[in-house]
A and B are shown apart, each in its own frame.
Chain A
Amino acid sequence: MLLNVIEDEEKWLAEGIASVQQNALFMHRALDANNLRDALKYSAQMLSELRTSKLSPHKYYELYMRAFDEMRKLEMFFKDESRHGVSVVDLYELVHHAGNILPRLYLLCTVGSVYMKTKEAPPKDVLKDLVEMCKGVQHPVRGLFLRSYLVQVSRDKLPDIGADYERDRDESSVMDAIEFVLQNFVEMNKLWVRLHHQLRTSIGLSGLQGPGQDRDKREKERSELRDLVGKNLHILGQLDGVDLEMYRENVLPRVLEQVVNCKDELAQYYLMDCIIQVFPDEYHLQSLETLLAACPHLQPSVDVKTVLSQLMDRLSNYASTCPDVIPEFLQVEAFAKLSSAISKVIEAQVDMPIVGAITLYVSLLTFTLRVHPDRLDYVDQILGACVKKLAGKPRLEDKRATKQIVLLLSAPLEKYNDIVTALTLSNYPRVMDHLDNETIKVMAMVIIQTIMKNSTCISTADKVEVLFELIKGLIKDLDVTTADELDKEDFEEEQNSVARLINMLYNDDPEEMLQIIYTVRKHVMNGGPTRLPFTVPPLVFSALTLIRRLQAQDGDVVGEEVPTTPKAIFQLLNQVTLLTHDLADAGIHDLSLNGLSCSITRAGIKAANDCELEPVAYEFFTQAYVLYEEEIADSKAQVTAIHLIIGTLQRMQVFGVENRDTLTHKATGYSAKLLKKPDQCRAVYACSHLFWVDDQDGVKDGERVLLCLKRALRIANAAQQMANAARGSSGPVTLFVEILNKYLYFFEKGNPQITSNMIQDLVELITEEMQSDSVTTDPASDAFFASTLRYIRFQKQKGGSMGEKFEPISV
């Protein structure tokens, strides 16, 4: 059915166009022949086509434009009195004889414009006459097009400042022009609004199609006519006579009066938009009060927020392109006026959804940031208003609303490039409280990214506290349910961001830095086992960095009152370790957590060693042992851990004899208890280094070195036998060669317990083993042995004391 309507319309339009063209042709001939009578006749017939009611506005406009173009030729003919010999005054009378009112009025308007141009009559009288006569057409569509024709053809003949047609250049004639356009505007708007009511009645009567569908279509068509009405405002905007004074005192109040009184949603929204767009920025700024006062009086369904947003957009563009007008903004108190207008609108429109209100605040904020970037109090005020609006409401679920809040909260960050500024806004966190968990996280990421982008350094514990409160969505679980829905990659990205953020916190003052570290610890420790592996390392590292910093400036620190001591930090580290440890204990056997606490411990031990804090280092070591015993169950992990322990312990100079003994004793004990023989063997010979530190004051306990090496040999033997028993063939001799190398090392270092005989025996033992049939040959260990022998020969040939030492060994 709709399709038929469209097809019919095409047909009617085609017919209309054909008729216009045909009559135009006859009119052209009449014009060529200077035949005024025929020209009038055919032009009237052509214009009669515009009497149709069958076309939609779009199609009607097409037909209208055809006739319009033809009328220009007629107008030129009218202008040239020599061609038709009739004075324009008589012509004006003559066209009154056209039969139908619509063609008559089109012709009158055309002659009228020529009349005004000839200056034979005051334009004022002609304009008044025409604008009154057009009242004769009350059909909305036809009337709107006729009046738009009138205003277009008279447009460049209006008495205006500087225009030719202004007779005495006094204000009254300019007033006449303005009066004319305003009157035409009012009449057109009435026609346009009436169309709405007519539609309602006609639909009520006919009800052929689904009324809703039909009404939508009609309302859409009505909307298409809007520019005809708006054109009047455009022309007012183009008149020089409409200066600021005239606009503020006369034009704007008159236009707004019509807008408010018409009580039509479509018209109100569109015309407000037009006013904002067709008049210059400066006018808006100087008449803000009047314009804004109209807003609360608009129909409740009017989208005032878009209107106001557009106004604020214009004004902020104005301020950013011409910075020298900013004092004017202050002078007219633009912010206060806009802010109060927004509250009034929100108050007046009770049903406005929350997203609407927030959108309004976003535009006001954008305006403020662009026009008054220095006024943080304004920004906080806007956020405060937003909090007030959100107060007492459940957390936002509306996606569009939360999106607007994210915009609202991101805007100051982008503007100031500096989170520190936002942290001073008291209402900032309060707005965030109204977000749902998902959005809190989004916002937290925005905040962190801003900090990263600008390399902002957050330098006080107070700010860190506020900051972590803001990003709490990433720091801890806000509720249980969402925990499993998390995407792993997203989660990791978030936590890595938090980790990077922790690295950005810094203060030169160790005391403040320690407070920052305390604050961070307080927050991240609530993170639960999934977050700690990401957040603890940066915390530990910033703590360790602080320790080293303190150590470096050791000389400057005087007295014992200095509160920030490495000790305090170690205490903190210890707690961190314990907590991670406890978490790991709590049934969550997460390898990464265990590894984590181990590495913290190791790092702590080293730092304590450097600071010469024996008890602290001892404490850490004990912890490491506890961890080793209780947490590390995997045999491979044990091997790695024990070597780390041995390595760390070997480099510790801080321990006294007693402590050292206890610790090394434990370490060798662990080594001998590893699961696999070769692992045992390697760990045990590594332990030999615990008794021989190649330093000036290092431990040099040759006897116990030898004990270790002998024990390693026994284990290697046992391993060989086990292999024999299991597979009928011994394993490679690698372990023996490795032990031989240890012997050689200590021999060279001058350990008196290691003699050339021992080495000789070992070499022979290995050679024997290699020749035995039961041994599987392994090229790698063969090569290893060969190069070890080569080394011995090399040392022998070297001469000097080393050569002498090696002399007895024969290979």
Chain B
Amino acid sequence: MPSRRRTLLKVIILGDSGVGKTSLMNQYVNKKFSNQYKATIGADFLTKEVQFEDRLFTLQIWDTAGQERFQSLGVAFYRGADCCVLVYDVNSMKSFDNLNNWREEFLIQASPSDPENFPFVVLGNKIDVDGGNSRVVSEKKARAWCASKGNIPYFETSAKEGINVEEAFQVIAKDALKSGEEEEIYLPDTIDVGSSSQPRSSGCEC
């Protein structure tokens, strides 16, 4: 009898355009990095198998478009997320200021059952740039914000150098797992096998 427990964990990465969401995902999943900026269109995901306490999980990591005009269909894919990763660029104050918007937008759109305790993880990316000289958001400031939002775990990362990426995703997976286990299982009010076999679709028979 296979385990009834969840083995698929859904993680959403959010943040402004150009903060390195795609790069973080690529570094974590494929151990690859490209310095070139390429916009993401819509939502895209990669999966990675992770081992945790002797169990194997599939981490489904959703990378999203930071530019609003490339999110034309909306954010229905937020639903069912087990953890949300908020990314900003430590060299851009605006991307940090926007974290709050991303977080709130996520809570509204994904409407998790327990928004207070929904797991977020914040990543301050691009710490490698210019040897840290162009940095404008201090670690202290970022940590203070994370603390004020219910002690969100915080990591300073470099997708380019691979710094802290693995560590961050370990925590992301762990938090996602915790939240996933608490999720309720859907139970319909009545189970009527008959009705489900009748297609209500008015479309053609294709």
Interface residues of A (CB under 8 A from B): 15, 18-19, 21-26, 32, 34, 45, 48-49, 51-54, 57-58, 61-62, 64-66, 68-69, 72-73, 76, 83, 100-102, 136-139, 142, 152, 155-156, 162, 223-228, 230-231, 233-235, 237-238, 240, 273-274, 277-282
Interface residues of B (CB under 8 A from A): 2, 4, 7-8, 10, 22, 26, 30, 32, 34, 36-42, 44-47, 58, 60, 65, 67, 69-74, 76-77, 79-80, 186-188, 191, 193, 196-197, 199-206
**Residues A142 and B203 in contact, CB atoms below 8 Å apart:** yes
**Residues B205 and A100 in contact, CB atoms below 8 Å apart:** yes
Given contacts A45-B196, A76-B58, contact A224 B73 (CB under 8 A): yes
List 4 A-B pairs, minimum CB-CB distance, nearest first: A280-B36, A277-B39, A227-B42, A234-B41
Distance in angstroms between the alpha carbons of A84 and B11 in the assembled complex: 28
Given contacts A53-B202, A139-B204, contact A230 B70 (CB under 8 A): yes
Chain A residues whose C-beta falls within 8 Å of the C-beta of B41 in the assembled complex: 227, 230-231, 233-234, 274, 277-278
Chain B residues whose C-beta falls within 8 Å of the C-beta of A274 in the assembled complex: 39, 41, 70
Distance in angstroms between the alpha carbons of A49 and B197 in the assembled complex: 11
Chain A residues whose C-beta falls within 8 Å of the C-beta of B191 in the assembled complex: 22, 25
Chain A residues whose C-beta falls within 8 Å of the C-beta of B67 in the assembled complex: 277
Given contacts A32-B4, A155-B44, A224-B72, contact A51 B36 (CB under 8 A): no
A568 CB → nearest B CB, Å = 57
**Nearest B residue to A99 by beta-carbon distance?**
B205
Distance in angstroms between the alpha carbons of A15 and B199 in the assembled complex: 11
Distance in angstroms between the alpha carbons of A69 and B77 in the assembled complex: 9
22 inter-chain pairs at a CB distance below 8 angstroms, sorted by A residue, are: A22-B196, A26-B196, A51-B203, A52-B200, A52-B201, A58-B73, A58-B74, A61-B76, A62-B74, A65-B79, A66-B79, A83-B2, A100-B205, A136-B206, A225-B72, A227-B71, A234-B42, A234-B44, A238-B44, A240-B32, A280-B37, A281-B37
Distance in angstroms between the alpha carbons of A282 and B80 in the assembled complex: 38
Chain B residues whose C-beta falls within 8 Å of the C-beta of A240 in the assembled complex: 32
Distance in angstroms between the alpha carbons of A21 and B196 in the assembled complex: 10
Distance in angstroms between the alpha carbons of A34 and B188 in the assembled complex: 22
**Residues B202 and A52 in contact, CB atoms below 8 Å apart:** yes
**Residues A230 and B38 in contact, CB atoms below 8 Å apart:** no
Q: Among B69, B80, B201, B205, which residue has the most Cβ atoms of chain A within 10 A?
A: B201
Chain A residues whose C-beta falls within 8 Å of the C-beta of B45 in the assembled complex: 152
Given contacts A48-B199, A83-B2, contact A72 B8 (CB under 8 A): yes
B32 CB → nearest A CB, Å = 7
Q: Among A68, A69, A101, A274, which residue has the most Cβ atoms of chain B within 10 A?
A: A69
**Residues B200 and A156 in contact, CB atoms below 8 Å apart:** no
Distance in angstroms between the alpha carbons of A101 and B206 in the assembled complex: 5
Known: A24-B186, A61-B74, A234-B38. 16 other contacts (CB 8 A): A25-B191, A32-B4, A51-B206, A53-B202, A76-B8, A83-B2, A100-B206, A156-B46, A224-B72, A227-B42, A234-B40, A234-B42, A237-B38, A277-B70, A279-B38, A280-B34
Chain A residues whose C-beta falls within 8 Å of the C-beta of B72 in the assembled complex: 223-227
Given contacts A51-B206, A139-B206, contact A19 B200 (CB under 8 A): yes
Distance in angstroms between the alpha carbons of A21 and B190 in the assembled complex: 12
**Nearest B residue to A276 by beta-carbon distance?**
B39
Chain A residues whose C-beta falls within 8 Å of the C-beta of B201 in the assembled complex: 48-49, 51-53
B123 CB → nearest A CB, Å = 20
**Nearest A residue to B70 by beta-carbon distance?**
A227
**Nearest B residue to A57 by beta-carbon distance?**
B73
Distance in angstroms between the alpha carbons of A34 and B69 in the assembled complex: 43
Distance in angstroms between the alpha carbons of A66 and B187 in the assembled complex: 15
**Nearest B residue to A148 by beta-carbon distance?**
B42
Distance in angstroms between the alpha carbons of A767 and B2 in the assembled complex: 128
Distance in angstroms between the alpha carbons of A282 and B38 in the assembled complex: 11
Distance in angstroms between the alpha carbons of A48 and B204 in the assembled complex: 11
**Residues B73 and A61 in contact, CB atoms below 8 Å apart:** yes
**Residues A22 and B188 in contact, CB atoms below 8 Å apart:** yes
Distance in angstroms between the alpha carbons of A68 and B8 in the assembled complex: 13
**Residues B203 and A139 in contact, CB atoms below 8 Å apart:** yes
**Nearest A residue to B80 by beta-carbon distance?**
A69
Distance in angstroms between the alpha carbons of A525 and B70 in the assembled complex: 59
Chain B residues whose C-beta falls within 8 Å of the C-beta of A235 in the assembled complex: 44
Chain A residues whose C-beta falls within 8 Å of the C-beta of B77 in the assembled complex: 65, 68
**Residues A32 and B2 in contact, CB atoms below 8 Å apart:** yes
**Nearest A residue to B204 by beta-carbon distance?**
A139
Distance in angstroms between the alpha carbons of A236 and B171 in the assembled complex: 31
Chain B residues whose C-beta falls within 8 Å of the C-beta of A223 in the assembled complex: 72
B202 CB → nearest A CB, Å = 6
**Residues A137 and B206 in contact, CB atoms below 8 Å apart:** yes
Distance in angstroms between the alpha carbons of A231 and B45 in the assembled complex: 12
Distance in angstroms between the alpha carbons of A564 and B197 in the assembled complex: 105
Given contacts A23-B196, A234-B42, contact A228 B73 (CB under 8 A): yes
**Nearest B residue to A156 by beta-carbon distance?**
B46
Chain A residues whose C-beta falls within 8 Å of the C-beta of B30 in the assembled complex: 162
**Residues A73 and B8 in contact, CB atoms below 8 Å apart:** yes
Distance in angstroms between the alpha carbons of A52 and B34 in the assembled complex: 41
Chain A residues whose C-beta falls within 8 Å of the C-beta of B38 in the assembled complex: 234, 237-238, 277-280
A465 CB → nearest B CB, Å = 45
Chain A residues whose C-beta falls within 8 Å of the C-beta of B44 in the assembled complex: 152, 155, 231, 234-235, 238
The 8 Å CB contact of B42, one of A83, A138, A231, is A231
Chain B residues whose C-beta falls within 8 Å of the C-beta of A238 in the assembled complex: 22, 26, 38, 44
Chain A residues whose C-beta falls within 8 Å of the C-beta of B34 in the assembled complex: 280
Distance in angstroms between the alpha carbons of A196 and B91 in the assembled complex: 43
Chain B residues whose C-beta falls within 8 Å of the C-beta of A162 in the assembled complex: 30, 32
Chain A residues whose C-beta falls within 8 Å of the C-beta of B40 in the assembled complex: 234, 278
Distance in angstroms between the alpha carbons of A709 and B71 in the assembled complex: 95
Chain B residues whose C-beta falls within 8 Å of the C-beta of A76 in the assembled complex: 7-8, 58
**Nearest B residue to A68 by beta-carbon distance?**
B77
**Nearest B residue to A16 by beta-carbon distance?**
B200
Chain A residues whose C-beta falls within 8 Å of the C-beta of B73 in the assembled complex: 57-58, 61, 224-225, 227-228
**Residues B47 and A156 in contact, CB atoms below 8 Å apart:** yes
Distance in angstroms between the alpha carbons of A231 and B197 in the assembled complex: 33
**Nearest A residue to B205 by beta-carbon distance?**
A100
Distance in angstroms between the alpha carbons of A227 and B67 in the assembled complex: 12
**Residues A15 and B200 in contact, CB atoms below 8 Å apart:** yes
**Nearest B residue to A23 by beta-carbon distance?**
B196
Distance in angstroms between the alpha carbons of A45 and B72 in the assembled complex: 28
B68 CB → nearest A CB, Å = 11
**Nearest B residue to A233 by beta-carbon distance?**
B41
Chain A residues whose C-beta falls within 8 Å of the C-beta of B204 in the assembled complex: 51, 139
Chain B residues whose C-beta falls within 8 Å of the C-beta of A68 in the assembled complex: 77
**Residues B188 and A21 in contact, CB atoms below 8 Å apart:** yes
Chain A residues whose C-beta falls within 8 Å of the C-beta of B202 in the assembled complex: 52-54
Distance in angstroms between the alpha carbons of A423 and B76 in the assembled complex: 56
Distance in angstroms between the alpha carbons of A275 and B204 in the assembled complex: 35
Distance in angstroms between the alpha carbons of A15 and B201 in the assembled complex: 10
Distance in angstroms between the alpha carbons of A368 and B58 in the assembled complex: 49
Distance in angstroms between the alpha carbons of A26 and B76 in the assembled complex: 23
Distance in angstroms between the alpha carbons of A155 and B73 in the assembled complex: 20
